[in-house]
């Protein structure tokens, strides 16, 4: 039986895709398979107080960000409730007080949708689990990812595991378009604590929302080639994750980042989401890699910020390089040091 009232709280991380998801169909289903590193420090903490109400008329909730009532989030959360209601049919029975905070500064240009939507999905599913003690851990994780996906596609990859695959692919057992799965096949030790230092090049509002971006892949002249490329890259990446061949790893990861941006540059309408400083940083990374025999590389999301990826054993050297040569390209000198993490936690 569902509880009358209570609270649930989850902490859920952001993730950074190595093979990018860009293009969707139906109920937030991906046009190609993607794989990501789960992050450790960039995360959202969400606490929900819930209480049964008298009438089951409509959704009823209030949202607080960093302790302040934030009405601007409500439409997004209402849309999420509408999308998940079929799978969480009790939502209208409750009033929810949703309190959320991010570990990274908001308006930093770091997307909080993956961590935020996965934290929310986990909290709501936890409520259901309180009434269903037979729910297995495996089912819980799959359903949490399934629900998170309906909030934001990439959020499906923020539940469990240090590497997560989302999207059906014949090379990954049990992979599905419906939810992300922790990829735990043979993974080389070097990737278990891989570093991601996020350089904040542009902290402004996103120029193109990801909803608009995914839509641009309909009727895109290169869409089919791109989906094939991503699926091929995923297949090539799996043996690299096992062998730890960083040269091959770099090649795929950087190609994926640039392909994502190439899609935006060649869509209709077209966008350039990199800033001059994004390119300066990329060139500096290439130069450093050559002159220092380093395995540092970059990846990008749908924006101007740069994720600098490198093995932990290079940490000192790469952070010196960032401080000496890259910080000047960051807005207000801001960057965030993160590394591979293990997924969401109930708190
Ligand atoms: O989850 P969405 O709909 O915000 O899409 C994000 C897509 C990228 O971040 C650009 C790539 C990815 O796979 O995370």
> Domain containing 326 — which CATH number?
3.30.230.10
> What percentage of the chain carries pLDDT values higher than 70?
98
Reported as a pLDDT band with limits 50, 70 and 90, residue 56 is: confident
R_g over Cα of the chain: 20
User: Region 101-128: what's the mean pLDDT?
Assistant: 89
> E strands along the chain, which residues?
5-19, 24-25, 29-30, 34-52, 60-65, 68-69, 94-102, 163-166, 180-182, 195-199, 297-300, 306-310, 335-339, 345-346
Q: Where does ligand 1 bind, in terms of residues with CB under 6 Å?
A: 17, 20-22, 34, 113, 152-154, 210, 260, 301-302
Taking the C-alpha atoms of residue 221 and residue 236, their distance in angstroms, rounded to an integer, is 24
Q: How many CB atoms neighbour CB 102 within 10 A?
A: 20
Taking the C-alpha atoms of residue 53 and residue 91, their distance in angstroms, rounded to an integer, is 11
The predicted pLDDT at position 107 comes to 62
Q: What SS3 class is residue 89?
A: coil
The set of residues, in sequence order, having a beta carbon less than 8 Å from that of 82 and lying 6+ positions away, is 59
The predicted pLDDT at position 108 comes to 65
Mutate which of 12, 16, 22, 212 to test ligand 1's pocket (most atoms within 8 Å of Cβ)?
Answer: 22
Which atom number of ligand 1 is nearest to the Cα of residue 214?
3
Mutate which of 17, 147, 157, 211 to test ligand 1's pocket (most atoms within 8 Å of Cβ)?
Answer: 17
CA of 51 to the centre of ligand 1 (A): 33
CA of 258 to the centre of ligand 1 (A): 14
Which atom number of ligand 1 is nearest to the Cα of residue 111?
4
Which atom number of ligand 1 is nearest to the Cα of residue 302?
10
CA of 299 to the centre of ligand 1 (A): 13
- Which residue do the tokens 């904040």 mark? 200
Reported as a pLDDT band with limits 50, 70 and 90, residue 175 is: very high
Taking the C-alpha atoms of residue 90 and residue 2, their distance in angstroms, rounded to an integer, is 9
Q: Which two tokens stand for residue 73?
A: 């989030």
Question: For the chain, how many structural domains are there in total?
Answer: 1
CA of 303 to the centre of ligand 1 (A): 10
> E strands along 53-184, which residues?
60-65, 68-69, 94-102, 163-166, 180-182
Which atom number of ligand 1 is nearest to the Cα of residue 24?
3
Reported as a pLDDT band with limits 50, 70 and 90, residue 174 is: very high
- Structural contact between residues 125 and 118, judged by C-beta atoms closer than 8 angstroms: no
CA of 153 to the centre of ligand 1 (A): 7
Which atom number of ligand 1 is nearest to the Cα of residue 113?
4
Mutate which of 210, 258, 260, 261 to test ligand 1's pocket (most atoms within 8 Å of Cβ)?
Answer: 210
User: Region 64-73: what's the mean pLDDT?
Assistant: 93
User: Region 50-77: what's the mean pLDDT?
Assistant: 93
Burial of 263 per CB tally in 10 Å (0-12, 13-18, 19+):
buried
CA of 209 to the centre of ligand 1 (A): 10
Q: What is the pTM of this model?
A: 0.97
- Structural contact between residues 344 and 118, judged by C-beta atoms closer than 8 angstroms: yes
Write out the residue range of the structural domain in which residue 63 sits: 1-347
| pLDDT at residue 116 tops 70 | yes
């Amino acid at each position: 039986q569902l509880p009358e009232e209570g609270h649930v709280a989850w902490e859920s991380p952001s993730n950074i895709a190595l093979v990018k998801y860009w293009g969707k169909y139906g109920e937030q289903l991906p046009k190609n398979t993607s794989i990501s590193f789960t992050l450790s420090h960039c995360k959202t903490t969400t606490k929900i107080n819930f209480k049964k109400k008298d009438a089951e008329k409509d959704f009823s909730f209030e949202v607080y960000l960093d302790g302040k009532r934030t009405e601007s989030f409500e439409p997004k959360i209402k849309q999420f409730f509408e999308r998940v209601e079929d799978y969480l049919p009790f939502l209208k029975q409750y009033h929810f007080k949703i309190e959320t905070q991010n570990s990274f500064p908001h308006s930093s240009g770091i997307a909080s949708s993956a961590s935020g939507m996965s934290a929310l999905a986990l909290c709501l599913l936890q409520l259901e689990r309180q009434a269903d003690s037979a729910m297995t851990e495996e089912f819980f994780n799959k359903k949490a990812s399934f629900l998170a996906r309906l909030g934001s596609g990439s959020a499906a990859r923020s539940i469990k595991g240090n590497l997560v695959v989302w999207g059906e692919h014949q090379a990954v057992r049990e992979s599905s378009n419906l939810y992300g799965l922790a990829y735990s096949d043979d993974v080389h030790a070097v990737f278990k604590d891989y570093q991601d230092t996020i350089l904040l090049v542009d902290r402004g509002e996103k120029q193109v929302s990801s909803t608009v971006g995914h839509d641009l892949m309909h009727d895109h002249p290169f869409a089919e080639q791109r989906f094939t490329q991503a699926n091929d890259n995923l297949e090539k990446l799996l043996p690299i994750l096992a062998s730890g061949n960083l040269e091959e790893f770099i090649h795929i990861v950087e190609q994926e980042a640039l392909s994502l941006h190439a899609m935006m540059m060649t869509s209709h309408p077209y966008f350039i989401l990199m800033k001059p400083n994004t390119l300066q940083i990329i060139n500096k990374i290439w130069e450093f890699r050559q002159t220092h025999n380093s395995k540092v590389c970059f990846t990008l999301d749908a924006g101007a910020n740069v994720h600098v990826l490198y093995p932990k054993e290079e940490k000192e050297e790469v952070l010196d390089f960032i401080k000496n040569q890259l910080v000047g390209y960051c807005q207000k000198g801001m960057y965030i040091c993160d590394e591979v993490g293990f997924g969401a936690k109930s708190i």
